[in-house]
Amino acid sequence: MDLIKIAEQAFQSGKAAEFPEFKAGDTITVTYRIKEGDKERLQKFRGVVIQMKGADPFTKTFTVRKVSSGIGVERIFPIQSPFIDSIEVNKYGKVRRARIFYLRNLTGKKARIREKVYVAEK
């Protein structure tokens, strides 16, 4: 199927895709549909969300960063991409900024993000 046809079908539906709420600092797993020749496969990309960009749901993007074999890898995903199969939130992080680009310069334990702890109300 042609990429333009896939995009047209996504925009014709007119509604935003249903994904869990997440923000910068959260660790998520994005299952992305990859097309290689005439075959399709699903690939998982797990990392920390370092920024959310865009106000309109149809132009909103998010950047995910992971460290693979000692090299930092970042990937930008449009939230309305028809190639995103699912998004799973693994951990909710506790950060004070909306864009945590400072993680690019940190290594080891300093690059960790504290996990947000939810207290059950009685």
Is residue 90 over pLDDT 90?
yes
**Amino acid residing at 79:** I
CA distance 107 to 103: 8
Report CA-CA distances (Å) from 94 to 40, 61, 112: 36, 21, 10
| pTM score of the predicted model | 0.77
The neighbour count for residue 50, using CB atoms within 10 Å, is 21
Which domains does the chain possess?
3-111 (2.30.30.790)
Which uninterrupted H or E stretch holds 86? strand 84-91
pLDDT, mean of residues 16-32:
87
Identify which has the larger pLDDT, 98 or 5: 98
Give me the pLDDT at residue 74, please.
Answer: 93
Q: Is the pLDDT of residue 79 over 80?
A: yes
**How do residues 30-62 score in pLDDT, each as one tens digit?**
999 999 999 999 999 999 999 999 888 788 999
State residue 56's pLDDT score: 83
Supply φ then ψ for residue 25, to 5 degrees: 100, -15
- Is residue 118 over pLDDT 90? no
Q: Please give the pLDDT value at position 29.
A: 96
What's residue 17's pLDDT?
64
Rounded percentage of the chain residues whose pLDDT exceeds 90: 43
The per-residue pLDDT for 15 is 53
